[in-house]
């Protein structure tokens, strides 16, 4: 049975929710979920690794950044997928190219945006203030010819499904 590691780091629960949804879609595999904020796993015990992080104020979580730089970039035989949870889909390519190490980008089987949230509920004052202005930008960008149809970010199940399909079906490297 294919052993898949889903390692993630997040702040508000969206990244964990995306990782859990991915794990559910990886039917027929042995999936291990790992919160990088609590531990850094060895990927040598897995056939496939999927690593994810939220993008917060234009940065990855420090634990995810370390994991990508130190563990994934140096491990050449474990197929790896990467997901970001970012509330600004239009900035995904910029985040991907700036935040994910080149060595990881070049060998990842997929780098995808699993969506994000701009929900200020329960956040500290400065986070709520930042999110208020971030949401204004999203809402204003939705005004077209006087019509107002705001679409705030949410989870992207299609991208999660694509990652799950590839992680289940890609050819594995013999160890």
Q: Which CATH number fits domain 3-117+154-169: 3.90.10.10, 3.40.50.300, 3.40.50.360, 3.50.50.60?
A: 3.40.50.360
Q: Which residues pair with 83 in a beta bridge?
A: 52, 112
pTM for the complete prediction?
A: 0.81
**DSSP label of 30:** E
Which residues, 6 or more positions from 99, have their beta carbon under 8 angstroms from its beta carbon? 55, 59, 60, 65, 84
What is the tens place of the pLDDT at every residue in 77-106?
A: 889 999 999 877 888 999 999 999 999 999
Task: List the domain boundaries for the chain.
Answer: 3-117+154-169, 118-152
**DSSP label of 61:** -
* Residues 82 and 108: beta-carbon distance below 8 Å: yes
What is the tens place of the pLDDT at every residue in 40-75?
A: 999 988 999 999 999 988 899 999 999 999 999 876
Angle ∠(6,9,106) on CA atoms, nearest 5:
65
- Pairing status of strand 147-148 against strand 143-144: antiparallel
């Amino acid at each position: 049975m294919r052993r898949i590691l889903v390692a993630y780091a997040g702040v508000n629960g969206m990244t964990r929710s995306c990782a859990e949804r991915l794990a559910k879609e990886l039917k027929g595999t042995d999936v291990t979920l790992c919160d990088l904020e609590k531990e850094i796993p060895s990927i040598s015990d897995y056939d496939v690794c999927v690593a994810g992080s939220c993008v917060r104020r234009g940065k990855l979580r420090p634990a995810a950044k370390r994991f990508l730089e130190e563990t994934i970039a140096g491990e050449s035989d474990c197929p790896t997928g990467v997901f970001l949870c970012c509330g600004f889909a239009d900035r995904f390519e910029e985040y991907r190219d700036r935040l994910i190490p080149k060595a990881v980008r070049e060998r990842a089987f997929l780098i995808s945006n699993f969506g994000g949230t701009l929900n200020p509920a329960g956040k500290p004052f400065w986070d709520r203030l930042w999110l208020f202005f971030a949401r204004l930008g999203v809402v204003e960008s939705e005004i077209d010819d006087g019509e107002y149809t705001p679409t705030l970010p949410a989870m992207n199940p299609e991208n999660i499904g694509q990652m799950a399909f590839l992680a289940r079906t890609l050819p594995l490297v013999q160890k």
